[in-house]
Chain A
């Protein structure tokens, strides 16, 4: 798939501190792309480079078919982690201002905003001041402001923080909807559950470097390392003997409730696991057999600690 954004060997140094070190990332068009990493890893700097807020010392950023320019920020919507709204300004007036700043005409902006406001259930807040809104309400306004001009590239920094589960779901649906209508979404978060749920691809940045990139499914499967969890009833010797060099037990077996034993095994060639299952089935009473796919949370921690 052709990437909408290509970050090539970007290095950025602030006074005495290297924020990005030779980072390359490709963001496929129409994907939801997770930008992960511990605090201070360089995510925000990368976002700023993409937003053209700051220039890299070395390396290039390509937007579609050209090197990114000032004008490309108008094809971008950015919702920073710390939300920014004029507190004393009325919500509707403010949304109109930002929408027009993003290049919409007054009438078009008003039409789209009214639509969004009623969709997210905040239509009656149009004439209220931002300082009178709850945090969640203000977040919704911020979200609308970010997406109203329907940019090709959307960048959300921790979009779900401050939302209750119902609103989180609503926002998730809206983000998926935006993707389905053709937008590419970069989304920076520490909430790994949401990454599993909605991200197609991720990049993990640690200590200014890209340490892990790729489609979420692939990364999780690979991180699993062809590990399977077998629950059975029978003798442990029979179990081990039946593996016949096609699979290897990992760690020690655990006894679990109901008299069952639980054992992790590694199958080096997992292109077809049926022979292993067949052999096990002959010797022990199998209760369950499942691939272990680590959570993104696990992968994050292991990758950052260098144990992946």
Chain B
């Protein structure tokens, strides 16, 4: 096996064999799943645990038509006070009772003026109680108003008329079939992928940095460098860690596929937009483009940043010394995340275009634009720029690396790095 291969193999095996790798690989998808399911779960838990709140009702409408029809349930229990009870009387009687949540005053003209509704709380109010009250009152008012028209079979007419519109956006492209895409689903998808690339670059880029610093500190580099060229060493590290990333992504992908296969139908059943969401995801051609571009941007973006991290790692002695360089590398990555927010809203803007061409930000920004549908040439140009600049950067990085690995002691400055690049 050649030397580059040996270095790649060693880097890869060292990491993959660690217990922490196996743990992280399995735990991360579980954590993500938990963070998605968690909030809903807790909301439900809080709601279901809540006690029944008692509310006394003063209904000033003629015949107490609202109050009489307020349904009590396990969440709220309504107690209608006799007609003509004044607020004062009610306050005196129930105002300080601990087991009474509050006094609901329904205005005389509530059917024409739905805002005429007052809740006098005895203690802290609760959004969920207020929601429960509002929902019930609205239902009664709507029914009352409809009844005024005296239409037959009003309920079946209503059921028939109750629709939710979903927008099916189609893209106009010359010489091609129109592609369907749903804005909501694909925007979310683009954002998720962009964020994922961001995570990969940060996590594995830092891994390259740490690995080079470690080997420099333990002087392993001095030994290694006598058996291979600095370039082989640097590329071996970068590629070895890239393989680790690939393996991890594949495993995560597999786990997510499994989750999706089982969980998506369930989500679909409970969500109104499910069909549209599923429709866009199930488009094989679209998914194919997305997967391929994602892979190309992950590889390009990782190599682009990893070579910078390797160069920095070679130049410094400790992670602390690396901090000043690291913050500069992080800057464009963080800018990319900010731009991402703007891009999601308007993928066709100039800002979105230029940031998806600049190699420092393109892996993230372009991935957020692609699901929204952009011309193929833009993707091709952006990828070409990324890969060309990655080659240039690797070359520059290896110039720094070959000098940096032997430099101990003084923390280098940007000027030093520049001089190393120029050095013969």
Contacts and interface: CB of A to CB of B under 8 A. Distances in A.
A242 B416 CA distance: 69
Given A77-B226, A98-B227, A84 B6 contact: no
A84 B223 contact: yes
A83 B215 CA distance: 11
Contact of B219 (A70, A82, A102): A82
Contacts of A55: 424
B374 interface: no
Contacts of B215: 84, 86
B225 A53 contact: yes
A98 B223 contact: yes
Contacts of A80: 219, 222-223
A15 interface: yes
B218 A84 contact: yes
Nearest to B14: A89
B228 interface: yes
Interface in B380-424: 403, 406, 416, 419, 424
A103 B220 CA distance: 18
A85 interface: yes
A100 B219 contact: no
Nearest to B219: A84
B227 A74 contact: yes
Contact of A82 (B222, B229, B403, B419): B222
B419 A15 contact: yes
Contacts of B406: 48, 53-54
A70 B232 CA distance: 12
B3 interface: yes
Interface in A157-177: none
Contact of B218 (A15, A54, A86, A103): A86
Nearest to A149: B227
A21 B227 CA distance: 27
Interface in A66-112: 70, 73-74, 76-80, 82-89, 97-98, 100-103
B241 to A, nearest CB: 15
Contacts of B224: 84, 98, 101
Contacts of A76: 226
Contacts of A87: 218
Residue in A51, A53, A86, A101 whose Cβ sees the most chain B Cβ within 10 Å: A101
30 contacts: A15-B419, A48-B406, A51-B226, A53-B225, A54-B403, A55-B424, A73-B226, A73-B227, A74-B227, A77-B226, A78-B223, A78-B226, A80-B222, A82-B219, A82-B222, A83-B223, A84-B221, A84-B222, A84-B224, A85-B218, A85-B223, A86-B218, A86-B220, A87-B218, A88-B14, A98-B223, A98-B227, A101-B7, A101-B228, A103-B227
7 closest pairs, A vs B, by CB? A84-B219, A84-B220, A101-B227, A78-B226, A80-B222, A84-B223, A82-B219
Interface of A: 15, 48, 51, 53-55, 57, 70, 73-74, 76-80, 82-89, 97-98, 100-103, 142, 145
